[in-house]
Amino acid sequence: MMGDERERDGGRGLRTQDLFDVRGKVALVTGGSRGIGAMIAEALAVNGAKARHSSVYVSSRKADACTKFAKYVNERCRLLAEQDQQERDAACQCTPATTTARTTPASTRTATTTTTTVTARRATARGSCHPLPADLSSFDGCGALFAAFQRTGEPRLHILVNNAGATWGEALETHPESAWDKLLNLNVKAAFRLVQLFLPLLKAAATEAAPASIINVGSITGIGVSLTDTYSYAASKAAIHHMTRVLASKLAEDHICINAIAPGPFPSKMTKALLEQLGDEVVSAVPMHRVGRPADMAGVTLLLCSRAGAYITGAVIPVDGGMLVKASL
């Protein structure tokens, strides 16, 4: 920020509540009813974004899973808003308003009242979550999701999170063609198709000061080498990482930032079997000696979807507790 911009801003733009603000943004999170997608969708909703999620593949066959998760998030938002209100009421009761009125100039009191009102709105600003079930394993399924989103009446989309995906583990000798078809269709082609379809809505939301955001969820398996037999999965995640870089070069002129998150081990349906069978070994391979938590995914999501990340595009960000940089002989 240049000096004159700092002066006009008054320093407010450097505060965390402004830098990481996603209030009022419209988000679409695919694969958003569980695992990492649920962590991302909930983080956006409780921080004020209107988070719409689409459950895909397994959860897409169970629309009730989408509805159940949306109800859970909306209840969380309601409870948090109530807590905000209670804290604000308690703070107001502790403020000696009569003394302040006698000793504070009228102009200052007006500014203070305005600031308090804005703070009150911020304190109770929470988002909402709405189910949009879809099967993204084909271009037709992607088109159906886009049509469903259009029916909501939203004129723009600020945040697109391509999280829907699947994995496949099978020995090299028998790793089938169907694994490659399934994983490339869902993990790579669907993400590309959704960018194509939603591009006009992303452009409508994007400005130079507040770019639209696309997050592709990859994996550290697409960067390093896994000991598991996930050949097609690793290749699909490497592909989504590089596709992110290629699209970043294209979309920057439209004020759209696109980045990839490469998670390490997080609790999810995709990693459930691995963590149940080899949980201790997995944790021992992480320098921070734990698996990922919802707050870990929420933090990087809010960074990439807010002003804090407005100058970041084309990045592949590992969120893995240091697994990729673990020293070895």
* Catalytic site includes residue 233: yes
CB 255 within 8 A of CB 207: yes
Q: Which two tokens stand for residue 33?
A: 């009813």
d(CA 27, CA 160): 6
Query: Which 3-state string (H, E, C) describes 267-283?
Result: CCHHHHHHHHHHHHHHH
Q: Which two tokens stand for residue 87?
A: 């804290």
Q: Which two tokens stand for residue 21?
A: 């603000």
Comparing C-alpha atoms, which of 203, 269, 270, 215 is closest to residue 240? Answer: 215
Helix (H, G, I), strand (E, B) or coil at 35: helix
d(CA 151, CA 63): 17
Write down the catalytic residue from 57, 72, 231, 233.
233
Among positive and negative, which fits the CA dihedral 289, 293, 296, 297? positive
Ramachandran bin of 57, using left for φ above 0, alpha for ψ from -120 to 50, beta for the remaining angles: left
Helix (H) or strand (E) holding 119: helix 106-124
233: burial class by Cβ within 10 Å (0-12, 13-18, 19+)? buried
Q: Which residues are catalytic?
A: 233
